[in-house]
């Protein structure tokens, strides 16, 4: 299944992002469900951080800055996929997500320019 990015509504400055002089920080959650695919997972149509960036008229995703429940995320701008790695730098194997990943949405901060 695809990932779903949901913006937060708790940032008073922009409602869903913080803007610096040459960057944006998108704040929200990612909902994981189903299984992880080798090489990373895509976001559901209309539910990606890049879709939100299009709405606010700015930039592109550079990096996912927050730990994803023990996994290190890496954004691939070419394939538009979010890959997950263990603390040892090994990509997760294809298969069902661990229960900790699917139990509830995972908080996330995304760097964009």
pLDDT of residue 41: 94
Length of the chain in terms of residues written: 113
pTM, 2 dp: 0.86
Predicted pLDDT of residue 93: 93
pLDDT in tens, 38-65: 999 999 988 888 888 887 777 788 899 9
87 contacts: CB under 8 Å, gap ≥ 6: 70, 72
User: What is the predicted pLDDT for the residue at 83?
Assistant: 96
Nearest-angstrom CA–CA distance, 107 and 85: 17
How many domains is the chain partitioned into structurally?
1
Range of the domain at 85: 4-112
Best CA proximity match to 61, nearest among 36, 31, 32, 26: 26
């Amino acid at each position: 299944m695809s990932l779903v990015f949901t913006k937060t509504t708790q940032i008073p400055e922009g409602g869903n992002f913080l803007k610096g002089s040459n960057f944006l920080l998108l704040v929200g959650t990612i909902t994981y469900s189903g299984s992880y695919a080798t090489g990373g997972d895509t976001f559901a149509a209309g539910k990606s951080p890049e879709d939100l960036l299009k709405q606010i008229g700015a930039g592109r995703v550079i990096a996912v800055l927050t730990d994803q429940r023990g996994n290190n995320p890496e954004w691939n701008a070419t394939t538009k996929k979010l890959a997950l790695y263990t603390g040892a730098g090994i990509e997760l194997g294809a298969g069902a997500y661990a229960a900790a990943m699917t139990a509830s949405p995972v908080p996330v901060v995304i760097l964009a320019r």
